[in-house]
Structure 1
Amino acid sequence: MHRLCRLLLGLALLTLPILTPNPGALLSGAQPLAGAAWAQTEAEAIDYDEWERLATRAEEVLATGQASTEALEIMRGTLANWRTRFLQGQSINATQIQTLRDQISALGAAPDTEAGESEPEEIAARRAALEERLAELQVPIRTAEEAYSRASGLIRQLDALVRERQAAELTELGPTPLNPAHYATAWEDAQTLLRGIAAEFAAAWSMETRSELLRRNGPVVVILGLIGLVLALRGRVWSARIADRVLRRSSAAARAVVLTTLVSLGQLVLPLVGLVLMVLAVLSTGMTGPIGETVLRIIPVMGLTFFVARWLGALTFPRDPEMPAPLTLSAEQRTEGRLHSTVLGLLLAAETLLQALGDADMLSTAALAVLDFPILVIAGLFMMRLGHLLVLHSRNAPVTDEGRQLRDQVVMVLGRLTILLGVLGPVLAAIGYRAAANFAIFSPVLTLALLAALILLQRVQSRVYDITTKREGASSEGLIPVLVNLLIAVLALPVLALIWGARVSDLTELWSQFLAGFSIGTTRISPGDFMTFAIVFAIGYVITRMLQGTLRNTVLPKTRIDIGGQNALISVLGYIGFFLAAVIAITTAGIDLSSLAIVAGALSVGIGFGLQTIVSNFVSGIILLVERPVSEGDWVQVGGVMGIVKRISVRSTRIETFDRTDVIVPNADLITGQVTNWTKGNMSGRLIVKVGVAYGTDTKLVDRVLREVAEAQPMVILTPPPQVIFMGFGADSLDFEVRAILRDVSFIMVVQNDINHEIARRFAEERIEIPFAQRDLWLRNPDALANALHRRGPLRAGSASAAPGTDTTPDSSATPQLTPTADDMSGDD
């Protein structure tokens, strides 16, 4: 059977392990049991004698290597079923074993006989009895583990043998289609096939029972044939007309894309249903034999291949310019793309028919090579043209300042690879490597079809998200569409693996390994354990959040605890709830973390060296939440940062400065460094205003004016009263300070501004002068300086040089430009 048929069969079989946790039991007709009882019954029902016979036979088959690939696959499936039973057998008596281990632990540590230690005879006897019982219960588990290992080894050997055969098939050199001697063989095989179909029809017509069956089923045959013919010929046209009407009547772009895509499924479904009805009509006549039935049964697969290719081509290269297109191409290029997709689908359908006939031994190897060669050559040409369109899209895509987008670069690479494989496939077929040529041509074709289907699904789900959120373009900003697209891509990976030669057993093996989980010490962790852990932890997390919300909105507002204390209590409750939820989830899932003691010890060393800063900040955050030296809403100053505390987490604290910038301060700095908290005890704080007056001013008057200004300010507390201090005699002024306590230190800048304005106004009324800095310059030896300047007059007169023939005698009436030096003068205040 062709690769496409195997692909469809593989997709059907892949759902079996997902829908049924024990496919082996389902296929064998066993009734499912629930929980541990089912696992225990399965483990106890294991017939190890039968398993020994099967394993021995499998080892003999592997030793000879003479069995067919189909027989190997059947044997592998049987071994996989046995391995599943062995895996389930490893969990037998788990509860009793854990109980015994707890009982042994309750007796205390065993005495060290070498060191001369002993214990009472009753305890020693009890310990021996419990250990003997524990060993008896562990016997089935050890037997199942040994058998599980043996089954896994045999499965690995079978897989390796099948892979070797697949590789040998790809590299097998067969008859070349360029040899004219093979043309006659192909013509004879084709004639034999047609004559066989005609002979089957004639033989059936001559049989009375078949003729009677045809007459009895005649009306049904005619009705089915006519309905199928109408659907096959007109179904696509009807769906296209409905899609056009939907596109014109829909106002929202997202809704139009979704509805048009759904309606366009009729272009795929209706012709396929019509083709199936026509096949059923022919089969109902009873005029077909084995050859005719083989051809008829492959026709629906061929039709599905052709219709899917045409449908994907119509959506990837839309005819309507209003429909979004995944590729940036012109209208002529989109028309060419639809043609290439349709032709490739038709060629793939023809290849499917040839492969089916070859698998049924109705065509010889030489005939297959000759008949398959034109299909591969034409498919290679159309692949090259399709790859050229992909390259054109990458060239037509807009280029940003950072270059081409990654998506366009990937499309460019895919286009060039498609062109390369389109050339390589016919060359391999001409040499005689038909299997390799088939793989090089049609695997990329199916891959491109899969990518087109993925793009279509992602586009539809994005438009559905836009419709759900009632906001156009929401899918480009939301996280959910990205996650859904990622999930779609992950689900497509098994299909991609099947296209490129993977076997269904390879994928089921991966699924089995996933279900089996992994072992940590003596504990096996499976996906079921992860699911249990996730569910229990999610429940604990939700309960913790509900308690936090109840405390925040209902309980704590009715207490006298300040906002900082309330936030601290809520945060501590969150950490405790998070920890308890994790512990309960681990315990419920049955995960034994005792085997991780060595890893935890090594991790603690790593924390001590590499993560000590993070741990220090974490501990400091806990201290901040418990002791609350700094609370949310406090005005603090840490180093050179001053602002309002907005949030305290376990690692850092966010402070909003008065410039409206956020500063992240590590919690360790708040614990180990010097922190000024302006609003910790109360909101009051001291304001200091410095001012200076000119020498000669009445200091008592200045004292009285400043005191009146401070007492007149509404934000200043009068008990204790503001103070005016004469600080001393400055270089330019008499220095005073006004010291006052404010009711709310948050208004310190506003109050200081108002007091400064009021001081300036009152000083102007009282004619009190605020001096400014003055400097006097005097010459120590003016006579000596004048004589020195007079002797150097010609050099300091301002004329750097004189022209030839010019009088250089200094003019006594001219004012020289003197430039005294530092040695000629000195200055004092």
Structure 2
Amino acid sequence: MDMTQPSRLVSLARTSWFGRIAAGLVCVLLLITLEVSAPMVSAQVSGVPALSDEENQEWQATARRAELTLEAGRASDRALERLRAQLVEWREVFTDAQGGHSQRIDNLQSQLAVLGPAPDDGSESAEITARRQDLTERLAELRAPVLAAETAASRAAGLIAEVDTVLRNRQADALVSIGPSPLNPVDWAEGLAELKDAVFVPLQEVRANLDNELRLFQFRQNLLVIIPFSLFGALLLMRGRSWTGGLVSRLRERLRLASGARVTASAEILTFVVSLGKVLVPWTGLLLLVQALLLTGMFGLRGEALIAQVPLWGAILLGAVWLCDKLFSDPPAPAVFEVDPGRRPALRRVGGGLATAVVLAQVGATFEALSGLDEVAGVLLAFPLMVISSLALMRLARLMRALTAPALAALTEGEAAPLRLRAANLLVRGAMVIAVLAPLLVAIGYRNAAEALIYPAVDTVGLLAILFAIHHLATLVYALFTTRDDPSEALVPALVGVALAVLALPILALIWGMRFTDLTELWSQFMAGITLGDTRFSPRDFIAFAILFAVGYVVTRLVQGALKTSVLPKTRLDQGGQTAVVSGVGYLGITLAALVAITGAGLDLSSIAIVAGALSVGIGFGLQTIVSNFVSGIILLIERPISEGDWIEVGGQMGYVRDISVRATRIETFDRTDVIIPNADLVSGTVTNYTRGNTVGRVIVSVGVAYGTDTHRVEGILREIAEDHPMVLANPAPAVLFQGFGADSLDFEIRAILRDVNWALSVRSEINHAIAKRFAEEGIEIPFAQRDVWLRNPEVLQPQAPGTPATAEAEAGQADTSEDITPKDKEV
């Protein structure tokens, strides 16, 4: 047997997309299981014991055998995979052993650090020297198996890398290997003859079993089971889809009259789940038919092997038809893709045809593997099946291009297309290229390369359809818990889409030829993390840190809520003090949560302390303003010169304090606008707090009266007005001051202390109204501005006779001026 024959690549390329998706899901679940179980292993307190002599010899033999196998280069792919699995098991053993006695080693190292280095002058006591030597020997004894495990793990990792390199090289060689062409007429007679013989072999087995009395006796014994299985299976297979479709239609008709987004979403989820019966019910019938055929015992080994694959092929067909129905449903049923209703039947037919082509290719690949066909017969069988798949893929790509073309044509010049539209256009072009290239490659003789293109492309289409259906279901579920009119545009469905895309990456990697072992190796390297200094940071550590910090954060918020709503309102603290306590508890809780998360995750930051210190200096210069504001925010919370609800004035801005955060304080002005003031300005600048401690404040009302008014009478009236206002305090009593003699009036001021200065503007307005009313009643005049104009030479305003000296001089001046005026100026 030729060990370089690409048998594994061929079998991989012919694996059904359903099987590859299942393998990808198993891969994801396995990786998650390994991730969950890994901390349990690493969390063991006792160290991993060293290998015994027998185990060490077994490892040395395995490693030596692997080296000889790689040097020979004649092992098959299957043998190399088995050898690699053994090496991976040994590497895991050595990796676990590297953490053995870690606590005891840390303890010995800490004891040696306490003793310090031995003095050069030999002044150390003999007891300390003996103790240091004993600790050093014990440390070396404990480190020996760890170092041996590190060496063995490195050797195993190197051998694994060599095996992977060999397998990848063989896979690459298989892609470019050339074989017989299906268009060569010379090979047709030989290939068709072998195909004919391969078809007649299962038929001969059936004929032989019919002539076998033992087989006939077994058939009669199972007849009471075969008949009901056949009848019931055929009934479910033929009528299952129509029964389920009728049930879905009646259910949608009953729920059609319901209103509300949540009711509609629940109805769609219900019909979505019930519509799965279109797959499950006929597939159950198919299983019964297959079991009935196997119970007959008449089909021989090859026939039974083919029949055993029928449920898988039926699941592909039924699932594909169901997906097409969900993606391109006819009204009134909602479709995942809102396309022209006239094109939906064509899209469903093309999707079903693509699934049929995949199933036919799987049937051909299974038949070829069971019959052991040679390359000529195999390529004659595979070529027409590949052409059918290419035609179906091309038809789907052309339909999708017809759907995206109007949207692309509607874009204006210079306008960028949306990401979804660009991705769809790129996928359509890629599908067209593959649909044309694959048949050409297999016609030339590059069958492996063609199969590595066409079938993964078809599998990718099926995977995308499944992802879109799952995302649609997730959007419907989200619609049950939201009040948005369009849940599909919300953030949560978008995040679900991103998560589905990430989870689909390993499945896509398997579809496009990546080996499962390569995927697990990449995952192992990812989980190993990165190394900074002497500290390794792995994703497991970050996950543990995130979980612990999230728990601490939630606990902090719960404590803050309890303090704010239950504890602090029962104390004598004012609102500002309560806010300061709640904020301080929040900062303290988050700090403790971060410390607990770092400690609990096992992150040792001591080895990067120097690097962090150097970075902190540079960051400090760049973020000194932010740090200053942060420290100022802490000072504001401790000293509490201002509190939420205070009326303050700072930097020319006046308003009420609405929020004091770590970096800045938000005040609301009287214009109902928010002003963000950095905390550093509040600490270092001048701040006027009108309501600090209490709301008592003074208001000043100015008024002027005409000259000649009795000032004592005005003073008494103003005092009565101030004392009569309910917001003015009686003690201290309001004062009325005769300020002086103004340019137009005698100026007076009312100075009154208010019980709530927040009403100063309203009080001033009401006092002004009262002054105007009382002055009108008392006949006191409030003067307006007056000015006396004195003329220095009033005689120029008197009319004079012509010829007088003044008139002559004025006419001369006018004549001189007119000489400089142009005709254009005269027009103006």
TM class, shorter-length: 0.7 to 0.9
C-alpha distance in 2 between matches for 1:788 and 1:46: 137
**SS of corresponding position for 1:633:** coil
Query: Which residue of 216, 223, 226 corresponds with 1:218?
Result: 223
Q: Which residue is 2:159 aligned to?
A: 154
- Equivalent position amino acid for 1:263 in 2: V
**SS of corresponding position for 1:21:** helix
Q: Which residue is 1:191 aligned to?
A: 196
C-alpha distance in 1 between matches for 2:358 and 2:386: 9
**SS of corresponding position for 1:195:** helix
- Equivalent position amino acid for 1:279 in 2: V
Q: Which residue is 1:308 aligned to?
A: 319
Query: Which residue of 758, 768, 790 corresponds with 2:811?
Result: 790
Query: Structure 1: 5+ residue runs without aligned partners?
Result: 26-31, 804-816, 820-829
**SS of corresponding position for 2:399:** helix
Query: Which residue of 48, 55, 65 corresponds with 1:47?
Result: 55
Give the 3 Å change call, closer, same or farther, for CA 53–757 of structure 1 in structure 2.
same
Counting only pairs closer than 5 Å after superposition, residues 247-396 of structure 1 correspond to structure 2 as: 247-251=252-256, 252-318=263-329, 320-360=330-370, 362-395=372-405
| TM-score, L = length of structure 1 | 0.87
- Equivalent position amino acid for 1:152 in 2: A
Give the 3 Å change call, closer, same or farther, for CA 762–35 of structure 1 in structure 2.
closer
**SS of corresponding position for 1:3:** coil
Work out whether residues 294 and 304 of structure 2, in 8 Å CA contact, stay in contact via their aligned partners in 1: yes
**SS of corresponding position for 1:307:** helix
C-alpha distance in 2 between matches for 1:512 and 1:495: 17
Work out whether residues 42 and 88 of structure 1, in 8 Å CA contact, stay in contact via their aligned partners in 2: no
Give the 3 Å change call, closer, same or farther, for CA 616–799 of structure 1 in structure 2.
closer
Work out whether residues 202 and 303 of structure 2, in 8 Å CA contact, stay in contact via their aligned partners in 1: yes
Give the 3 Å change call, closer, same or farther, for CA 8–622 of structure 1 in structure 2.
closer
Give the 3 Å change call, closer, same or farther, for CA 139–523 of structure 1 in structure 2.
farther
How much has 1:198 moved relative to structure 2?
2.3
| TM-score, L = length of structure 2 | 0.87
Residues 392-417 of structure 1 deviation map (CA, whole Å, 9 limit, x = unaligned): 33345697998754323322332233
**SS of corresponding position for 1:689:** strand
**SS of corresponding position for 1:36:** coil
Work out whether residues 307 and 345 of structure 1, in 8 Å CA contact, stay in contact via their aligned partners in 2: no
C-alpha distance in 2 between matches for 1:487 and 1:547: 32
- Equivalent position amino acid for 1:240 in 2: G
How much has 1:525 moved relative to structure 2?
4.6
C-alpha distance in 2 between matches for 1:88 and 1:103: 25
Work out whether residues 709 and 780 of structure 2, in 8 Å CA contact, stay in contact via their aligned partners in 1: no
How much has 1:629 moved relative to structure 2?
0.9
Indicate whether 1:445 and 2:458 are aligned.
yes
Q: Which residue is 2:635 aligned to?
A: 623
Q: Which residue is 2:185 aligned to?
A: 180
When structure 1 is superposed on structure 2, of 418-427 and 285-294 the one drifting more is: 285-294
Give the 3 Å change call, closer, same or farther, for CA 594–775 of structure 1 in structure 2.
farther
**SS of corresponding position for 1:681:** coil
Q: Which residue is 1:575 aligned to?
A: 587
How much has 1:799 moved relative to structure 2?
15
C-alpha distance in 1 between matches for 2:52 and 2:662: 52
**SS of corresponding position for 2:342:** helix
Q: Which residue is 2:725 aligned to?
A: 713
**SS of corresponding position for 2:75:** coil
Work out whether residues 327 and 393 of structure 1, in 8 Å CA contact, stay in contact via their aligned partners in 2: no
- Equivalent position amino acid for 1:232 in 2: L
C-alpha distance in 1 between matches for 2:734 and 2:634: 41
How much has 1:583 moved relative to structure 2?
1.7
C-alpha distance in 1 between matches for 2:667 and 2:23: 59
Residues 333-359 of structure 1 deviation map (CA, whole Å, 9 limit, x = unaligned): 111111111111111111112223344
Work out whether residues 21 and 507 of structure 2, in 8 Å CA contact, stay in contact via their aligned partners in 1: no
Indicate whether 1:614 and 2:626 are aligned.
yes
Q: Which residue is 1:436 aligned to?
A: 449
- Equivalent position amino acid for 2:688 in 1: T
- Equivalent position amino acid for 1:198 in 2: L
C-alpha distance in 2 between matches for 1:295 and 1:42: 50
**SS of corresponding position for 1:654:** strand
Indicate whether 1:66 and 2:74 are aligned.
yes
Q: Which residue is 1:658 aligned to?
A: 670
C-alpha distance in 1 between matches for 2:507 and 2:694: 69
How much has 1:127 moved relative to structure 2?
2.5
Q: Which residue is 1:601 aligned to?
A: 613
Work out whether residues 112 and 135 of structure 2, in 8 Å CA contact, stay in contact via their aligned partners in 1: yes
**SS of corresponding position for 1:653:** strand
**SS of corresponding position for 1:331:** coil
- Equivalent position amino acid for 2:280 in 1: V
C-alpha distance in 2 between matches for 1:259 and 1:45: 63
RMSD of Structure 2 on Structure 1 (CA):
3.5
Counting only pairs closer than 5 Å after superposition, residues 500-519 of structure 1 correspond to structure 2 as: 500-519=512-531
C-alpha distance in 2 between matches for 1:575 and 1:341: 57
Query: Which residue of 743, 747, 753 corresponds with 1:741?
Result: 753
How much has 1:258 moved relative to structure 2?
1.9
Work out whether residues 50 and 145 of structure 2, in 8 Å CA contact, stay in contact via their aligned partners in 1: no
Work out whether residues 243 and 260 of structure 1, in 8 Å CA contact, stay in contact via their aligned partners in 2: yes
- Equivalent position amino acid for 1:427 in 2: L
Higher relative contact order (CA 8 A, sep 6+): 2
How much has 1:50 moved relative to structure 2?
1.9
How much has 1:39 moved relative to structure 2?
6.8
When structure 1 is superposed on structure 2, of 748-757 and 144-153 the one drifting more is: 144-153
**SS of corresponding position for 1:47:** helix
Give the 3 Å change call, closer, same or farther, for CA 553–339 of structure 1 in structure 2.
closer
Work out whether residues 21 and 463 of structure 2, in 8 Å CA contact, stay in contact via their aligned partners in 1: no
- Equivalent position amino acid for 1:742 in 2: L
Counting only pairs closer than 5 Å after superposition, residues 532-681 of structure 1 correspond to structure 2 as: 532-681=544-693
Work out whether residues 350 and 392 of structure 2, in 8 Å CA contact, stay in contact via their aligned partners in 1: yes
Query: Which residue of 122, 141, 145 corresponds with 1:136?
Result: 141
- Equivalent position amino acid for 1:220 in 2: V
How much has 1:701 moved relative to structure 2?
4.8
How much has 1:522 moved relative to structure 2?
4.1
C-alpha distance in 1 between matches for 2:807 and 2:712: 49
Query: Which residue of 211, 219, 227 corresponds with 2:232?
Result: 227
C-alpha distance in 2 between matches for 1:35 and 1:303: 47
Give the 3 Å change call, closer, same or farther, for CA 576–120 of structure 1 in structure 2.
farther
How much has 1:103 moved relative to structure 2?
3.0
How high is the sequence identity, in percent, across the aligned residues? Answer: 44
Q: Which residue is 1:824 aligned to?
A: none
- Equivalent position amino acid for 2:380 in 1: V
Query: Which residue of 420, 441, 446 corresponds with 1:407?
Result: 420
Residues 578-602 of structure 1 deviation map (CA, whole Å, 9 limit, x = unaligned): 2222222322333222122123202
**SS of corresponding position for 2:16:** helix
Work out whether residues 621 and 648 of structure 1, in 8 Å CA contact, stay in contact via their aligned partners in 2: yes
Query: Which residue of 455, 467, 471 corresponds with 2:468?
Result: 455
Q: Which residue is 2:260 aligned to?
A: none
Indicate whether 1:109 and 2:116 are aligned.
yes
Give the 3 Å change call, closer, same or farther, for CA 230–693 of structure 1 in structure 2.
same
Number of corresponding residues: 794
- Equivalent position amino acid for 1:578 in 2: I
Work out whether residues 536 and 584 of structure 1, in 8 Å CA contact, stay in contact via their aligned partners in 2: yes
When structure 1 is superposed on structure 2, of 225-234 and 36-45 the one drifting more is: 36-45
Query: Structure 2: 5+ residue runs without aligned partners?
Result: 1-10, 257-262, 797-804
Work out whether residues 533 and 586 of structure 1, in 8 Å CA contact, stay in contact via their aligned partners in 2: yes
C-alpha distance in 1 between matches for 2:337 and 2:88: 45
C-alpha distance in 2 between matches for 1:189 and 1:35: 61
Give the 3 Å change call, closer, same or farther, for CA 759–124 of structure 1 in structure 2.
farther
C-alpha distance in 1 between matches for 2:518 and 2:823: 104
